[in-house]
Amino acid sequence: MDILDSLELSTIFNHIPNPVFIKNEHLQFIFINKAYESMFNVKMKQILGKTVLDLDYIPEQDRVFYQKEDMEVLLHGKTKHHIFNYLYKGQEMHTCLYWSSGFVQKNGMRGLIGVIVDINKQSKKIHELHNELRTINVEKDEVIKKSKLDPLTHLYTRAAFDEALPKLAAPGSDGFSCIMFDIDHFKRVNDTFGHIAGDTVLKAVASLLKEHSRERDIVCRYGGEEFIMLLPGVKVDRAIMVAERIRRCIQKHVYLPDGQCVTISAGCSAYITGEPGTAVVQRADKALYMAKDSGRNSVCAIEGV
């Protein structure tokens, strides 16, 4: 063997814990180390003089791939690496890093050396870490989702509203309208019938708000007994119609334990190009107070500054 011109070199390779093989210019094996023998449960005398195409312990499709790639590595002196699954000692699949490199001897003869590194434990650990990361991301998304949903009414929270508002007022948007609702005399409901009855009213109102909204609308529990709706692409006249329809529906379908109907007041406004989203909310809030001052159970609107 010209390539292994000393016993010491063979001894060195046999002390390497990773499988090592060397091929000649015909891609025939001329050396495998002890680690290679152990990994594939073979002896060097069984392998010498053979090409990878003759090795029945490697899947045929992989053999063809290795032979083709080894030829390219041999001819061009390249170094290549891949990750493959090998049948370790004929018993179980191991994920391994395989790399090979072509070389030229002083006498001009070409050859190829390859090393196989068993990364099965690392691969499993990486897979476990990926699964843990996916689980963490799912849990994180769930936490974020819960933080944006009011636990009582299942509407969006004030935090979700504050996140959505600037996006609707961003340059190039289609504009939007805002409706702010307030349940009339809600403090009396809690004081007279208790907080359980108050919660029932809140949930009933929230359900009707959701029922009368589109999928793209943003319906939030703004705080306490206040609710707010953001209607993308909707003008103020349309918002007034929506608010009025909701007002009538709540008066008709939501009742207190003593049979009295629940009523709401609403204030509407629409986005003016170039202004911050908070300006729209401020006008809706002013319009809401106008509705309250006019006797409640009504809808008012402020269209401009």
Domain residue ranges of the chain, discontinuous segments joined by +: 7-123, 152-301
CB 212 within 8 A of CB 245: yes
Beta pairing class for 110-118 and 20-23: antiparallel
- Please count the residues of the chain: 305
Reading phi first (left if > 0) and then psi (alpha if -120 to 50, else beta), residue 213 is in: beta
26 phi, psi to nearest 5 deg: -95, 10
Which amino acid would we find at residue 234?
A: V
pLDDT, tens digit, for every residue of 196-238? 999 999 999 999 999 999 999 999 999 899 999 999 999 999 9
CATH 3.30.420.80 fits 152-301, yes or no: no
pLDDT, tens digit, for every residue of 251-304? 999 999 999 999 999 999 999 998 999 999 999 999 999 999 999 999 999 986
Measured in whole angstroms, the distance separating CA 209 from the mean position of its chain's CA atoms is: 30
- Domain 7-123's class? alpha beta
Residue with the two structure tokens 């909204």: 213
CA–CA gap between residue 167 and residue 171 (Å, rounded): 9
Using alpha carbons, select from 20, 31, 45 the residue that is nearest to residue 101. 20
Q: Please list the active-site residues.
A: 225
pLDDT, tens digit, for every residue of 70-110? 998 888 878 888 887 877 766 778 888 888 998 888 888 88
The model's pTM is 0.58
